[in-house]
């Protein structure tokens, strides 16, 4: 990778402070850009809009999904914007180039009964400490709508290096979300009870000085992949008909809360969405539920008695 791309990645790391996963996506996009430019024999500084369109079309022809192409273009656009501010290029060749339109699938959410069954699932063959831990994980993911990265980053108490922490007295979780934005999330009664039960068991599992809220049997901070694996196993034990992942519980949290309250703005705040349009997708999840409410409540929907 040439010096300019390396300097841009350093900018994303040190100044933009992107998450490791996001940084990996940008790195892949830049490597693809350099490979395409090298194959075409075009220096990156001389890339034009027609090059970008052709490379995006070639990626689409090779089977890359529209969403993935949009991520590529976003990474390339960001590079040339930064490069222009540095005085390296006179224009941004990616400006105005759009990815192919893609269908917008609805996020998958559990039914209320399924979410409750998962939260209430106990495995008699699992040690009590692990049962308490896994139950607490489910309650925080479903009861608070946390992202798995936010959950993994939680510490027991606040500290200088803490990404997030819990406040038992205030019944809240202080989490570090996307874009390094902090938000306070209330912890409901069921999640608070699960949290207190886990903390009483955690003492025997976590070594002295370990700040992580959720630890493995070896006493180290649980990883996102470990949580995904535990959650998948719990779903199977609960007899759920679908594979469950952490983000599905976040979707379920948003859908069920919006279904009950109808307060889109509050759900946006709890999820930590910067743009309310991101939250609006959940209004499409429960159209049948909303249609039933309309049929029962709206004067123009009720049939007149004969």
pLDDT in tens, 76-126: 999 999 999 999 999 999 998 988 776 666 567 888 888 888 888 876 667
Q: Which of 35-44, 81-90, 134-143, 248-257 is least confident?
A: 248-257
Does position 305 have pLDDT exceeding 60, yes or no? no
In a domain, 158, yes or no: yes
Are 190 and 136 in the same domain? yes
Q: Is the pTM of this model over 0.85?
A: no
| CATH number, position 142 | 1.10.443.10
In a domain, 290, yes or no: no
Are 183 and 219 in the same domain? yes
pLDDT at position 306 is: 38
* pLDDT confidence bin for 72, thresholds 50/70/90: very high
In a domain, 274, yes or no: no
Are 53 and 154 in the same domain? no
Length of the chain: 306
Does position 288 have pLDDT exceeding 70, yes or no? no
Are 127 and 198 in the same domain? yes
In a domain, 103, yes or no: no
Does position 272 have pLDDT exceeding 80, yes or no? no
Nearest to 290 by CA among 264, 265, 258: 258
| CATH number, position 46 | 1.10.150
Are 78 and 120 in the same domain? no
In a domain, 94, yes or no: no
pLDDT at position 122 is: 73
Domain region containing 56: 3-85
- The catalytic site residues sit at 147, 178, 247, 250, 273, 282
d(CA 170, CA 173): 9
Are 116 and 236 in the same domain? yes
Are 144 and 216 in the same domain? yes
The torsion angles phi and psi of 173, rounded to 5 degrees, stand at -120, 130
Of 246, 269, 288, which residue sits at a domain end?
246
* pLDDT confidence bin for 304, thresholds 50/70/90: very low
- Structural domain count, the chain: 2
Residue 12 structure tokens: 């994303």
- DSSP structure string for the chain: --HHHHHHHHHHHHTS---HHHHHHHHHHHHHHHHHHHHHT--GGG--HHHHHHHHHHHHHTT--HHHHHHHHHHHHHHHHHHHHTTS-SS-TTTT--PPP---PPPP---HHHHHHHHT---TTS-HHHHHHHHHHHHHHHHH---HHHHHTEESS--TT-SEEEETTTTEEEEE-GGG-EEEEE--HHHHHHHHHHHHHHHHHSPTT--BSSB-TTSSBPPHHHHHHHHHHHHHHTT-SS---HHHHHHHHHHHHHHHH--HHHHHHHHT-SSHHHHGGGGGTTHHHHHHHHHHH-TTTSPPP-
Average pLDDT over residues 232-248: 87
Are 222 and 135 in the same domain? yes
pLDDT at position 76 is: 96
Average pLDDT over residues 135-159: 91
Are 129 and 237 in the same domain? yes
How does pLDDT run across 18-54, given as a tens digit for each residue?
Answer: 888 889 999 999 999 999 999 999 999 999 999 999 9
How does pLDDT run across 186-214, given as a tens digit for each residue?
Answer: 898 999 999 999 999 999 999 999 999 99
In a domain, 50, yes or no: yes
**Could you tell me the CA-to-CA distances from 218 to 6, 206, 222 in Å, in that order?**
37, 8, 10
In a domain, 157, yes or no: yes
Of 246, 279, 294, which residue sits at a domain end?
246
pLDDT: which is higher, 73 or 181: 73
Are 78 and 116 in the same domain? no
Are 80 and 190 in the same domain? no
Are 72 and 125 in the same domain? no
In a domain, 179, yes or no: yes
d(CA 32, CA 18): 19
């Amino acid at each position: 990778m040439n010096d300019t791309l390396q300097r841009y990645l350093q900018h994303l790391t040190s100044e933009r402070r992107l998450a490791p996963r996001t940084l990996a996506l940008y790195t892949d996009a830049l490597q693809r850009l350099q490979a395409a430019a090298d194959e075409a024999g075009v220096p990156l500084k001389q890339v034009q809009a027609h090059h970008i369109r052709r490379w995006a079309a070639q990626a689409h022809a090779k089977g890359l999904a529209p969403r993935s192409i949009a991520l590529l273009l976003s990474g390339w656009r960001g590079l040339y914007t930064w490069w222009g501010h540095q005085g390296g290029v006179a224009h941004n060749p990616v400006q105005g180039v759009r990815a192919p339109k893609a269908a917008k699938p609805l996020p998958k959410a559990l039914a209320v009964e399924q979410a409750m069954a998962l939260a209430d699932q106990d495995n008699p063959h699992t040690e009590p400490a692990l049962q308490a831990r896994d139950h607490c994980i489910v309650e925080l993911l479903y009861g608070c709508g946390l992202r798995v990265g936010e959950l993994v980053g939680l510490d027991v108490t606040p500290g200088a290096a803490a990404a997030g922490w819990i406040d038992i007295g205030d019944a809240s979780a202080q989490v570090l979300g996307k874009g390094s934005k902090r938000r306070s999330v209330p912890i409901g009664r069921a999640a608070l009870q699960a949290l207190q039960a886990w903390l009483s068991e955690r003492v025997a599992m976590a070594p002295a000085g370990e700040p992580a809220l959720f630890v493995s049997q070896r006493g180290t901070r649980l990883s996102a992949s470990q949580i995904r694996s535990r959650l998948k196993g719990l779903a199977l034990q609960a007899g759920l008909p679908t594979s469950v992942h952490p983000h599905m519980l976040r979707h379920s949290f948003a859908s069920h809360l919006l279904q009950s309250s109808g307060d889109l703005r509050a759900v946006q705040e709890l999820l930590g969405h910067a743009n309310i349009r991101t939250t609006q997708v959940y209004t499409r999840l429960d159209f049948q539920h909303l249609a039933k409410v309309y049929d029962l409540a709206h004067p123009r929907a009720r049939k007149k008695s004969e």
